[in-house]
Each structure stands twice: as structure tokens, then as C-alpha cells.
């Protein structure tokens, strides 16, 4: 007689809540090498995905402590805290959900005039900006606190390493912010700034460490790769080749990539590596960016071991070129804006097609890349741009001078300012 029911011999489905119940009041410790560390990270990820939102998350001396809404507090210890643990911490702390808090006690983190490497493009006080409040805003996530900035601690993290920012002028602004944040704790005679072709670097002798910037606005090879002479009538790029740039960034220990602004400037022309006759194909910026990002992602997949090299991608920095985007019916742009956008709970829909495309490509890279999502928090800072308070190259016409909005820079960011917060987020990961 056949049984009415057959029982399959299969593994029990993973249940995060049930496992936490078994771990209540206990310590689960993974001891071993990098493979064991990966198993620890896997456990953290599984529990994060299967549990409700946390109340608090901490990492201390290799231990991860999570506090959940029911007040229970399980704990996992790892002998080595690797990139998996860092990413888990930032995923639990939803730093993208928060508000800008005015803080004239702990801000700014440095003074514009005290940074000897300050760029005329973002030195807003030097070029006459009358207000200073844009320097005093601090980003506060709703459900957690960001680690307090500590320059000496970060230098220790960077000891013997190369931190390299790769991208366009916005990424250069983040690099400059990092330089200004860190340079003050290094005696002048023990830090050296050097510029070699596409690469600019601040080196701290005491730590045998460097903070570098590589100009690569498209992340692939292009006719705009000269950091000084890139204002050309048309943009031509090789979407399938980043060998020249990669030969520089492959030697870095920590990489911070960003690419967006240059893709917004109309169509691009493609010159494939296999084409020998110089025939170019013209396509729109979004499609060009997708091709370039795909080439970049292929390089990451083939060349990055997350246990040896940390890679970050900073999401797009919104512009404030149209005032009607935050005040419907109003004309103008960021000129004369002195406060962040009031409705801080409204999520930014800034360039959704590009955001989705980038998210799709990044998702395939898994733990090889950590994403620093600055888009929403940056979209709220209509007040943080240089506007007219920066050095402009070339003489401005009387007509433009009579209409400040016509030449306001609503793309880049004054320093100290918004870019410092991007680096505070990077500090959380590091």
C-alpha cells in the first residue's frame, strides 16, 4: 500500500526571526580566515534582509550589535571586520532617510581660509558670498547617528594606502573636501601636493598614505581626458576601453568613482576600439553612459578582490538649475538661495531613468562595490552651490552681469559644505 503523503528530505527554509530567538542572550562567534569572515558576513546579510527595521546598530572591535524594535539585542563577533561588515552596518543605518540640521557648534569641519589647497571654483567666501549659513548644516539620519568625524582616525585607516577619487569636477570637489578635512593634522613640511598629467595627489609622509584625484569624466577614454583642456565642441569617447585610466586606478587601495554630469550635456559620439577608419556613431547621453558603465563594471568584475581593494560608487549629484522643480511656477535657479528645501521628507525623483540604469549595473557587482547614495540628501541643498560667488574663467558680459541667474553655478558645491557630508558617509564605510 502506497502512503498518502510523501515527505521530502530537504533543508529547513531560513527564518531570520527563528534564528534570533535561538540566539537570544548568546554570542555566535565565527573564528577563522577570510572564508570564515565571508560566512560571518553572509549571516549578517541574511538576518538584515529577514528582519524588521533596526533601532540601533553599532560596530565595536569587530563585533556587530543590533538592536531591534522589541528591545532584544543579539550580537555577532568576528575576528576581522571586513567589507561585508561595513556594508551591513550602512545598510542597517538607512542614512539616505534623514534631515538637514542647523549646527553652528560642530560645523564647519574646517574653515575655507585654512585650507591651502582650496580651489577658486568653490571658495565662495573668498569670492564674496555674503551669508555663511550654508556651512553649518549637518546631515542627521532618522534612525541612527553617523560616526563623528575624526581626521587622525581616518589617516590611521589610510596608513600605507592610496585613496583615489575618479571622475569629473564634482568628484574632484569631493576629493578637495577630503584634502581640506585631513590636511590640518599633518604638519606642512610632512605633506606634499603633486600634479602629474591626469593625477593630482596629496601625500602624507608620516602615514605613507596619499589622497588622489584622477580626471576621468566618462570613466572610459575620451577626447575630454585632459584635465585642463576638455572644453571641446563635441564629445568623442571609446565606450569599450578604459585601459588608460585603469592603468592608474588599479594601483589604488580604495577607489571612489563617480560619473554623471558630463552625460547630461547632450549627445556623445562613439569611436569603438575596433574601428580603424575613424567613423563615429552618435547616441544620446543616457545610452552612452550605460555603455561606459558596463565597461567599467566589467573591469570591476575581472579585477577587484573585495578583500584586497575597496571600491565605492557615489550616486549622482543633483543640480538646481530650475527653481520650478522645488517651487512650482517660479522662475530662476539657485541664485540667492540661502536655505535647504523645506519639504525634506519628499524623495527626489531626480533623473529616474539614469538612476535606474546605474542601479541595475551596480546590482550585478554585489560586494565588489559599495554604493554611497548622496542623491536625495544633496537634492535638498539648493543653497549650497557657488552661484555667482566663485572665479569665472573668461570675461562676463555686461548683459550677464546685469542678470546674475544667467551665469550662476548651480552644479558645483561651496566648501566647506555639502561635499563634506559625502565624505562623512565614506568615513562610515571605511
Which residues participate in catalysis according to the annotation?
169, 409, 412
Q: Who's near 418: CB < 8 A, 6+ residues apart?
A: 378, 381, 384
Whose grid coordinates read 581626521? 151
Instruction: Measure the CA–CA gap between 189 and 226, rounded to whole angstroms.
Output: 30
Do the Cβ atoms of 156 and 150 come closer than 8 Å?
Answer: no
Burial (CB < 10 A; 0-12, 13-18, 19+), residue 380, is buried
Do the Cβ atoms of 108 and 416 come closer than 8 Å?
Answer: yes
- Helix (H) and strand (E) counts in the chain: 11, 16
Do the Cβ atoms of 174 and 422 come closer than 8 Å?
Answer: yes
Q: Count Cβ neighbours within 10 Å for each residue of 75-99 and write b for 16 or more, e otherwise.
A: ebbbeebbbbbbbbbbbbbebbebe
Closest alpha carbon to 212 in 192, 230, 238: 192
Q: Count Cβ neighbours within 10 Å for each residue of 128-138 and write b for 16 or more, e otherwise.
A: ebeeeebbbbb
Q: Which long-range contacts (CB under 8 A, 24 or more apart) does 275-284 make?
A: 280/236
CB atoms within 10 A of CB 217: 26
Cα 390 from chain centroid (whole Å): 24
Give the Å distances, CA to CA, from 205 to 159, 193, 197, 209: 10, 11, 22, 7
Closest alpha carbon to 214 in 200, 196, 194, 195: 200
Do the Cβ atoms of 269 and 234 come closer than 8 Å?
Answer: yes
DSSP letter, residue 270: E
CA-angle at 217, arms to 404 and 241, nearest 5°: 160
Q: Who's near 401: CB < 8 A, 6+ residues apart?
A: none
Amino acid at each position: 500500500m502506497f502512503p498518502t503523503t510523501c515527505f521530502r528530505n530537504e533543508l529547513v527554509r531560513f527564518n531570520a526571526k527563528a534564528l534570533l530567538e535561538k540566539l537570544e542572550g548568546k554570542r555566535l562567534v565565527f573564528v577563522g580566515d577570510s572564508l570564515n569572515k565571508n560566512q560571518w558576513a553572509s549571516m549578517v546579510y541574511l538576518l538584515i534582509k529577514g528582519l524588521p527595521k533596526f533601532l540601533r546598530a553599532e560596530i565595536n572591535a569587530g563585533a556587530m550589535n543590533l538592536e531591534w524594535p522589541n528591545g532584544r539585542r543579539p550580537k555577532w563577533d568576528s575576528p576581522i571586520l571586513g567589507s561585508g561588515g561595513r556594508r551591513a552596518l550602512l545598510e542597517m543605518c538607512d542614512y539616505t532617510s534623514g534631515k538637514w540640521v542647523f549646527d553652528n557648534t560642530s560645523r564647519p569641519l574646517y574653515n575655507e581660509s585654512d585650507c591651502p589647497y582650496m580651489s577658486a571654483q568653490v571658495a565662495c567666501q573668498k569670492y564674496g558670498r555674503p551669508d555663511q549659513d550654508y556651512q553649518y548644516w549637518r546631515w542627521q539620519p532618522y534612525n541612527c547617528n553617523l560616526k563623528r568625524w575624526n581626521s587622525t582616525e581616518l589617516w590611521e585607516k589610510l596608513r600605507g594606502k592610496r585613496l583615489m577619487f575618479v571622475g569629473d569636477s564634482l568628484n574632484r570637489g569631493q576629493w578637495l573636501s577630503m584634502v581640506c578635512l585631513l590636511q590640518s593634522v599633518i604638519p606642512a613640511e610632512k605633506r606634499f601636493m603633486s600634479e602629474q598629467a591626469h593625477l593630482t595627489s596629496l601625500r602624507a609622509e608620516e602615514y605613507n598614505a596619499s589622497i588622489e584625484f584622477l580626471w576621468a569624466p566618462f570613466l572610459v577614454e575620451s577626447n575630454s581626458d585632459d584635465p585642463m583642456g576638455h572644453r571641446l565642441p563635441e564629445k568623442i569617447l571609446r565606450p569599450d576601453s578604459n585601459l588608460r585610466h585603469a592603468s592608474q586606478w588599479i594601483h589604488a587601495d580604495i577607489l571612489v568613482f563617480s560619473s554623471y554630469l558630463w552625460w547630461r550635456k547632450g549627445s556623445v559620439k562613439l569611436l569603438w576600439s575596433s574601428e580603424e577608419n575613424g567613423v563615429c556613431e552618435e547616441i544620446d547621453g543616457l545610452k552612452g553612459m550605460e555603455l561606459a558603465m558596463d565597461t567599467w563594471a566589467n573591469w570591476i568584475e575581472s579585477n577587484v578582490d573585495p578583500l584586497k581593494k575597496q571600491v565605492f560608487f557615489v550616486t549622482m549629484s543633483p543640480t538646481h538649475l530650475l527653481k520650478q522643480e522645488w517651487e512650482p511656477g517660479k522662475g530662476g535657479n539657485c541664485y540667492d538661495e540661502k536655505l535647504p528645501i523645506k519639504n525634506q521628507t519628499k524623495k527626489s525623483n531626480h533623473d529616474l531613468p539614469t538612476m535606474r540604469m546605474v542601479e541595475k549595473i551596480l546590482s550585478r557587482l554585489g560586494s565588489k562595490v559599495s554604493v554611497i547614495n548622496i542623491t536625495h540628501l544633496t537634492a535638498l541643498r539648493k543653497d549650497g552651490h557657488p552661484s555667482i560667488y566663485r572665479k569665472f574663467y573668461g570675461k562676463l558680459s555686461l548683459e550677464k552681469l546685469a542678470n546674475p541667474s544667467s551665469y550662476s553655478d548651480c552644479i558645483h558645491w561651496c566648501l566647506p559644505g555639502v561635499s563634506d557630508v559625502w565624505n562623512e558617509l565614506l568615513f562610515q564605510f571605511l
